[in-house]
Structure 1
Amino acid sequence: MTKLILSTGNIVSGGPSIIRKPGAFRSNLELTNSLRSNFLAAQEDYAAELAQGHHGANGNGSANGVDLGRPPAAVWTAHKDGALYVPALERDIHGLQEEPAQYDITAKLFFLPGARVAQRPQHAKEAVDLVLAELRAPAVDLLIVSFPGMSFEGDCEWEADKQNAAQGNGEDELATWPAIEELHRAGLAKRLGLAEFGSEKLSRFLQSVQVRPAVNQINLKNCCNVPPPLAKLAKEQGIDLLVHSDCTDILPKGTLRDLLGPGLGGAGLLAGPETDADGLQGDLTPQWVVKYTAVVRDRGVIENKGYFAGAELVDE
């Protein structure tokens, strides 16, 4: 079994970006495109270094007639602490430009379908630790948790709220929450939040947890208004309602295999269909994704934004 940690790096280019932009970019497309771009950039950087080395040695940009356009995976990835980092992380070029207290840092953790519920505490701690190390910050201001199988869809807001009541897995969600509460108690997440909880699910959830969510984030892509029962409950319980445009299944299994595979647009990390092909082989399962943003408080701009994703490759 091989654990993989994928990263986009800071996807804010050309300086900080204003928070409100016309036309929201869906997170699944943003994640996929950003991962692909970061993989390619890492390969190009290391390929250039290899080409320079071979140029100095034999006067050309190849070694033994082999094109150095795509460097071996061992060159641009790194094994550390039992995981394969794709690409290798360069800690010395990351971090916030100002003191962490000058930012509002939000992390949204997506637990993906197919991953084992028993592993969620490990995944949550791993994801938050990666974000904090990337930003060089002591804590996130808000940690939002997204569980699989949840949506907020319907012909109207009342129908969406009704359908939501039967979605997800209440037992698994409650079994996971203590690990999220522990991150709060450890000072790593100042406030906690949920995603896609309608009035009935949220009411049941609040009755069974110790650290209550301060935020509930919902996607109103098919509904123009917040369901009145949810708005009433949130007001009574002092919970902020936020709107988002994220996908619950932000990184499907097939998408991840295409990203890492040998095909066009792939990173070449996984072996092809040939039995003697180079590359990793096995059953690849995405387990979690964390999306993070660091907003400069006094200027209202996003300085740092990116994603990490965790996956498991099991030998067949």
Structure 2
Amino acid sequence: MPAQAIPELLDIPSFKHLTLYTGNVMRTSVAGRSKALSKKSNTELITAIDDTLYASLDRDEPSFRYHEQESLLEVPDLRSRSRILPEDRNDVEVTAKLFYLGQQQNNNNVASYIRSGVQHLQKVLGVDAIDTFIVSFGGRSESITPAWQQLEVLHQRNHTLGKLGVADFSQEQLESILSNPAVTVKPSINQINVGQCCNMPSAMIELAKQHNIELLHNGDRADILDIESLSALLRKHNVHATVAPQFVIKYHVFVKCRSVVSDKGYIVVGDTLA
């Protein structure tokens, strides 16, 4: 059993799994602080989680869902809906990035998290397909092949994912995946966290040109959320559980004709520690 003691005031049953949806942060108080938080995306995420927990749990009638069979606690932000109307789908572009944060070195974990993450996005946004899907492996190179095979299934067979990308790949990692015979769909994007420098390595630029890969600047931290930060936020809102984040999804909805972001949110999935 997970080591936790849920206050009777909240009446939250003991749970093993957590899923939290921040909702559209563009329509919450987080948006007003976006400029101050733009340099550290993990700070934006932590602020969004805190804001969601406050809005959902710190109220006379807390908003959460408990799925007994899965021992799953869902915390949705009910203040704003992110669903895209079917008649608007062709007018917007949906991009998403999955940050793999799992502590266990299980090569199949990332593949299962990708399936789960895509299902969460489909549920939250009300769409069948994601236009661009990027994975941050957090430096776990041993997880790439099984995860990429899952991405290829969703791209080729189900047409659920459009462009596929990676984050923070070095030139060596990029060359490795491009030359891997088991990889049939090559990445078309590589996000690079360049820190304070705005210049891409010349060798990386040449490699990207040869394989038609977009090189995009990236300010995200690979370790976007850790056990201590997530658990501290939960305790702050009277959920006394130690939760290890397994993955985080960051998504954007762009309005094509105006080139503006109409929706931005996070999905956090974690497991309690015994």
Bucket of the pairwise TM-score, normalised by the shorter protein: 0.7 to 0.9
> Alignment partner of 2:27: what SS?
coil
Divergent runs of 4+, >4 A: 20-23, 89-92
Cross-structure match for 2:233:
259
Q: How many residues align?
A: 251
Give the residue type in structure 1 aligned to 2:152: E
- Contact 1:113–1:249 (CA under 8 A) maintained in structure 2: no
RMSD: 2.5
TM-score by length of 2: 0.83
- Partner of residue 36 from structure 1, selected from 50, 62, 67: 50
**Residue 175 of structure 1: which of 141, 146, 168 is its match?**
146
Structure 2 unaligned residues grouped into runs of 5+: 3-15
Aligned match of 2:203: 229
SS at match of 2:103: coil
Tell me, what secondary structure is at the counterpart of 2:257? Answer: coil
Find the counterpart in structure 1 of residue 11 from structure 2: none
Unpaired runs of 5+ in structure 1?
50-74, 150-167, 271-279
CA distance in 1, matches of 2:27, 2:39: 15
**Does the 8 Å contact 1:39/1:86 carry over to 2?**
no
Alpha-carbon distance in 2 for matches of 1:104, 1:225:
27
- CA deviations 1:89-116 (Å, max 9, x no partner) are 6599441255111111100000014144
Within 5 A, what are the aligned runs for 1:1-316?
2-13=16-27, 24-44=38-58, 46-47=59-60, 49=61, 75-80=62-67, 82=70, 84-88=72-76, 93-96=81-84, 99-115=88-104, 116-149=106-139, 168-169=140-141, 171-185=142-156, 186-208=158-180, 209-261=183-235, 266-270=236-240, 280=241, 284-315=243-274
Q: How far apart are the structure 1 equivalents of 2:95 and 2:130? A: 6
Change beyond 3 A, Cα 1:132–1:37: same
Aligned AA (1:237): H
Distance in 1, Cα, partners of 2:93 & 2:43: 24
Specify the SS of the correspondent of 1:99: helix
Q: C-alpha separation between the residues in 2 aligned to 1:23 and 1:284?
A: 24
Partner Cα separation in structure 2 for residue 83 and residue 125 of structure 1? 19
In 2, Cα distance between the equivalents of 1:189 and 1:210? Answer: 15
Distance 2:25 2:124 in 1: 13
Q: Percent identity?
A: 31
**TM-score, normalising length from structure 1?**
0.73
**Matched residues in 1 for 2:188 and 2:119: separation?**
21
